[in-house]
Amino acid sequence: MTKQFVISSGHGDKVSGAIGILNEHNEAKKVVNRVYSILVDEYNGKGYKYHETTATNQNQNLANIVSFHNGKTRDLDISVHFNSASASATGTECLYYDAKSLSAKMSKAMANALGIVDRGAKERKELYFLRNTSKPAILLEVCFVTSKKDAAAYHENFEDLCQAIAKVIANELGYKKKVTTVSKPSVEAPSYYKSGTGLYRIKKNCYAYRSVIFDKENRVELCQKGTKYTIVAIVKYGSTYRLKTKWGMYITANKEYVEKV
């Protein structure tokens, strides 16, 4: 049975979280949406995403988020946040209640994707989300909204970041990448007249040539649609066939261009 996840943004439409160079709520929603789509579209993942929209204070916001998580059948809870501190603070973190190993992997993966400092896994048992969700839970601090360096790295490496987050989750829950096959359009081999002299009509404009070698130097005239030619021989040339007219010219024996009258 496929394991499931719930991933949510850590604040709400009316409780926006930290605002600096980046807006925590807006960017967390983008990360959640992209990571979710990667897990269900590119991996064989199964789960839910959530953005809180109704709460007018932080306590209700957190309660609504946790209620959504606990109301779903799942094996892992993920909350996406962005950090805030002084302008010099930089790096990724992942907070946990008891999922230390997973948190360390996540913080390192995010740091590698963004090219910023890995501040590592941090135990935070007092946090409402980590304390009240009933399944293993991690809280991502993607980077600092107050850091120009972090903001630039985030914008430049957004897709790499989301792919890295999704990969850690996929590995934890046993998801596999979906195999995508690109089918090449089938090309139908030309059909040729291989025998039968007599009268032939041009179905589609083509050229007549002075030899079986159809190149610009040997081109003689344009054979107009509807024109009839008396064919005295059919000559094989490589994998194709040519019709030899009584005037000594050659035209294609391709049934797309000629038809026997």
CATH superfamily of 4-173: Zn-dependent exopeptidases (3.40.630.40)
Asked if 252 contacts 222 with a C-beta cutoff of 8 angstroms, the reply is no
How confident is the model over 19-68, as pLDDT tens digits?
999 999 999 999 999 999 999 999 999 999 999 999 999 999 999 999 99
Amino acid residing at 223: C
Residue 113: which of 43, 162, 152 has the closest Cα?
162
Predicted confidence at residue 69, as pLDDT, reads 98
Residue spans of beta strands (DSSP E) within 32-172: 46-52, 76-83, 92-96, 118-123, 137-144
Average pLDDT, the chain: 94
**Topology given in CATH for the domain delimited by 198-260:** SH3 type barrels. (2.30.30)
Predicted confidence at residue 50, as pLDDT, reads 97
Please tell me whether residue 53 adopts helix, strand or coil conformation: coil
How confident is the model over 131-177, as pLDDT tens digits?
999 999 999 999 999 999 999 999 999 999 999 999 999 999 999 99
- Give span(s): CATH 3.40.630.40, the chain: 4-173
Q: How many helices (H) and strands (E) does the chain have?
A: 6, 13
Predicted confidence at residue 184, as pLDDT, reads 67
Distance (Å) of CA 234 to CA 196, 203, 208, 224: 7, 18, 14, 20
